[in-house]
Structures are given as C-alpha cells and as structure tokens.
Amino acid sequence: MIADRITAQGNPWNFDNSYLQLPEKMYSKLNPVPVKAPSLILFNHTLAEEIGLDVKGYDWQKLAACFSGNEIPGGADPLAQAYAGHQFGHFTMLGDGRAILLGEHLTPDGKRIDIQLKGSGRTPYSRRGDGRATLYSMLREYLISEAMHYLGIPSSRSLAVVSTGEPVYRERIHKGAILTRLAGSHIRVGTFEYTRNFLGDEELEKLVDYSLERHYPDDLQKKNKALALLDVLVHRQARLISEWMRVGFIHGVMNTDNMGIAAETFDYGPCAFMNAYNPATVFSSIDTEGRYAYGNQPYIAHWNLGSLAGALLPLIHPEQEKAIEMAKEVLNEFPAIYQQYWKEMMRNKLGLTREMEGDLNMMEDLLVWMHKNKADYTLTFYRLSHDKLQEDPAYLEEGFIHWLTQWKERINAEDGTLDDARAIMKKANPVHIPRNHKVEEVLLKAADHQQFEPLETMLELVKSPYEERPEYEPFKYGPEQGDGNYRTFCGT
Ligand code: AMP
Ligand code: MG
C-alpha cells in the first residue's frame, strides 16, 4: 500500500533521514556536484524491486539524472559524513571525500537503508582528491558487491552506475562515473574514532545509542551500551570474516574506515578472489607489506575492533584503567569466537554436521596440502562436493589420497552418507567465484571499449554461484598460467 501511495505522488523514494539527528559536526550538508552528460550504464531492476523502488515510469534519461545526482529526489537530505580512520595502521582524518548520502530509504518491509552516490564530486572532506571515481572502478564495485551478495555474504549493494561524460585523471585519463550504493548504514569504526578524537563524550554517547538503535536494538537494554556494541561487533565481524575466508575473498584495504558497524562487506577497492590456496595472497598494489593478505584478515579485524574499543573507552568506564580492562575482556574473546565460526564454516565446506575430535587437524591438513601443491581453493572444494576429483590428476597425489581416506572415514563416523555430506557441501562451496582475470577482461571491455555485453553476461553468472552452468564453463577456472603479477589498483 505504501508503495502505491508514493508512486501516485510521483516519488519512488520513501526517505526518512535519521542521520541528521546526530550532532552537526558529524556531517556536512551539501548536494552532489552536477555532471556534464550523465548516461545510464547499469541499473539493478531486481534490487529496485526488492527495496520497493518503483521507477517503471522513468525513462533512461530520467534515471541517469537521478542516479548522477543532477536531480535530487524529493525527501532526500544530501550530506557527506565525517569520519576518521587508521589507514595501514596510521590514524588520519577522512570523511566522505567523494560520496554523498542522499538519505535513508525505508523499504516496504521496514528496512532502513542508506542511499549513497559514490563519485559525486568534492566535499569538505576531499582533501586533495577530485571527488570523482572512474567508470572502471565503479563497475568493479557493482560487479563484486553483487557477487558477494549472491554468494550469501552480507554486503553493500549496487543499484546503478551512471557515466558522467567527464574525464577523471589518474595514472591515465579515465571515464568518470557515479555508483549508487545501498548499505545497512555507512557508520564505520572510523566514525567512532572521529567522534572520540575530535568531538566529545556526549557526541560519542549519541553515536553509540544511534548505532544500537539502528542495528542492534536488543542491546539498547544493556547496562553498558558501549561494551554491548563492542561485544556484538566482535561476533558479527568474526562471522563476516569467516565468510570471506569461505570463498577466498580478499578485501584488500581493511582500514578502520572501511569496517562498518552494520557488519557488511563494503568499500570495494582493490579486492580480489584467491585462486591457488596461499594464506599470504595479496593482490593490492598498495599493500606492499601484505598487511591485508588473505590469511591476515581475521587478525586485522581483531586489530580494527581494538581501535573501536579504544574509541569507546570513556563510555565503558569513567576510570580509564578499568575501562581498558573491561574492553580487553571482550576483545580477547575474538580469536576463540572467530575460530568457532571458522570451524563451523569449514565443517559445511567438508559436509560435517557436528564437531568431533581431530576435525581441526583434518581441516588444516587439507589446507596445507593445497598450499604445498598450489591447488585452486574453489575448485578443490567444488570437486570434492561434486565428486569430480577425477578432473585433475593432481588429486592422485599420495598425500591427498591419504587425506581423502581420512575424510571419508570421518563422514562415516556421522549418521549420514557421503551424498548427505555432499548436499551440505554444495551450499557452502561455490562452483563460480568472480575469477580476477575474467573480471578484468569484462571490465576493460566495458570501461574502455563500450562493450557491455560481456559484463552483463558475468553479472548474470554471479547471480547463481552455486549452480553448474555449462555455458559458463570457462569462467570456472583461474588463469592457466597462474596469477603471475596480477595486481589490483586503488587508482579509483
Ligand atoms: P577509500 O580508500 O576508498 O576507503 O577512501 C579513503 C578516503 O579517501 C575516504 O575519505 C575517501 O572519501 C577519500 N577519497 C578517495 N578517493 C577520493 C577522491 N578521488 N577524491 C576525494 N576523496 C577521495
Ligand atoms: Mg573507504
């Protein structure tokens, strides 16, 4: 009914902008900077429908005007959020330097989601940046965020990409574009760091209350709300990272400003998917030390939560020493909680329904074998799940056969059959992940040669990652010659 009423008024949005309740120093109100020649490149009709956004009456030109920021929809209250963050371990002031939050849209089923335009021009937080984004990187974020969503991993979503008709100067000249990003919220660990460092305890308390009310309302009843927030995030982030590990996802820039309180994957920059299993895998060209390598992600999440704890200290207890002690107690739970989630995730990947002694060793033995033999992470689990190990003679290796025997014995020790196990495994082990070289291939065609069909084809594939799709056979494999010097660039 609500949707009908809004459409009748000609405004598909149902904005209700609660962020403005927060202290004024936490944002700057301003509109996106208009662009020269907006042209709609991608629009996510499925997502529009999911959130009750009826734009059926809009033609492409109208959509381009709206999702470039040239037209501000009724009910929007555009603003740029202030935040700080630890980037590669160093604290710095940041903020939305090239993004504008149009407002919060309430979906017909009562969800509140941020509607953000990314690449929307300079803001008071732009520092030396141009406020813009390249078409290449916005298409990349669209593709990978949608892929993560359909892999079943909490993620920001992508509604539209509009090219701006303006050049963007990076290491070379790119086409400019704006992405419409949807997220549970854009409150970050860095939002707390900003408030703690540059505002006061009163503001910090408002932010904690606001965050709990928005994301974890059950915890509002807790006596120590700041500690409750830390505790819930220890659990949510541990689970989120275990999910990244399940599919071989490497975020690439796990700075504290890129870790959200909604515990969704977001801010897709130089992220990539691991092919051959190796915990030290890094693709980002700026991550020269491997700080954000695949296997480091749980440690970094723990580190980032430490920054959150640091920001929350004055609310945890008035005496700092006592506050530190209380925060530590919660933080120190992270490794054990993470391991629980990780083991549960691995049990699903291996078709095991309950915990038994020796499981951890068996899981680690497989990973060690994969590492040593440079086996593809996704394909190994896929072949195990689909009874297709015969596809590759590498699995005839003695060490693997030994492991396989143990695994089968372990399955036998449960009540179910191998088929039962495989049914579980097929839900945890994707057939398809977005293979980096394929991602690169379709993005280059789209961004540099205006050939959008390969990208559309891949966008179709990422919607069903757990299904066998014979027509997509070449998308199943990593590059033949391995990753070589494959690098992802922040040249965003
Ligand atoms: P990111 O690495 O995308 O998480 O961005 C880190 C910070 O740099 C955020 O404050 C961004 O808003 C800002 N930033 C990144 N690129 C630009 C740009 N082209 N212009 C202005 N600010 C930017
Ligand atoms: Mg960021």
Element (H, E) at 343: helix 334-350
Which ligand is the nearest neighbour of the Cα of 96? 1
> 318 in ligand 1 pocket by Cβ < 6 Å?
no
140 secondary structure, DSSP code = H
For the record, the structure tokens of 11 come out as 């405004």
For the record, the structure tokens of 65 come out as 């005007």
218 is catalytic: no
Between strands 173-183 and 39-43, the pairing is: unpaired
Q: Please give the number of the atom of ligand 1 that sits closest to the Cα of 258.
A: 4
Q: Is the dihedral of CA 173, 118, 153, 241 positive or negative?
A: positive
| pLDDT at 4 > cutoff 80 | no
pTM: 0.97
- Give residue 483's pLDDT band: very low, low, confident or very high (50, 70, 90): confident
- The pLDDT assigned to 270 comes to 93
* Region of residue 76 (left: phi > 0; alpha: psi -120 to 50; beta: else): beta
Which residues are 42's β-sheet partners?
A: 161
Q: Please give the number of the atom of ligand 1 that sits closest to the Cα of 490.
A: 2
Helical segments of 387-491, H only: 398-412, 418-428, 436-449, 453-461
What integer is the mean pLDDT of 193-199?
A: 98
- The pLDDT assigned to 485 comes to 80
- The pLDDT assigned to 490 comes to 61
Contact 265, 247 (CB under 8 A): no
Q: Is 462 helix (H, G, I), strand (E, B) or coil?
A: coil
Please report, for residues 7, 168, 280, the alpha-carbon distance to residue 294 in angstroms, rounded to integers and kept in the order given.
45, 31, 6
Q: Is 36 helix (H, G, I), strand (E, B) or coil?
A: coil
Percent of the chain with pLDDT over 70: 98
Please report, for residues 218, 229, 399, the alpha-carbon distance to residue 308 in angstroms, rounded to integers and kept in the order given.
20, 10, 43
> 258 in ligand 1 pocket by Cβ < 6 Å?
yes
- The pLDDT assigned to 1 comes to 35
| pLDDT at 350 > cutoff 90 | yes
Element (H, E) at 42: strand 39-43
> 132 in ligand 1 pocket by Cβ < 6 Å?
yes
Write out 272-333 in H/E/C secondary structure.
EECCECCCCCCCECCCCCCCCCHHHHHHHHHHHHHHHHHHHHHHHCCCHHHHHHHHHHHHCC
In the chain, domain spans: 4-183, 189-341, 353-492
Which ligand is the nearest neighbour of the Cα of 286? 1
Q: What is the pLDDT of residues 240-283, one digit of tens each?
A: 999 999 999 999 999 999 999 999 999 999 999 999 999 999 99
User: Catalytic residue among 96, 219, 231, 257, which?
Assistant: 257
Indicate the range of 8-22, 104-118, 124-138, 378-392 predicted with least confidence.
8-22
Q: What is the pLDDT of residues 150-162, one digit of tens each?
A: 999 999 999 999 9
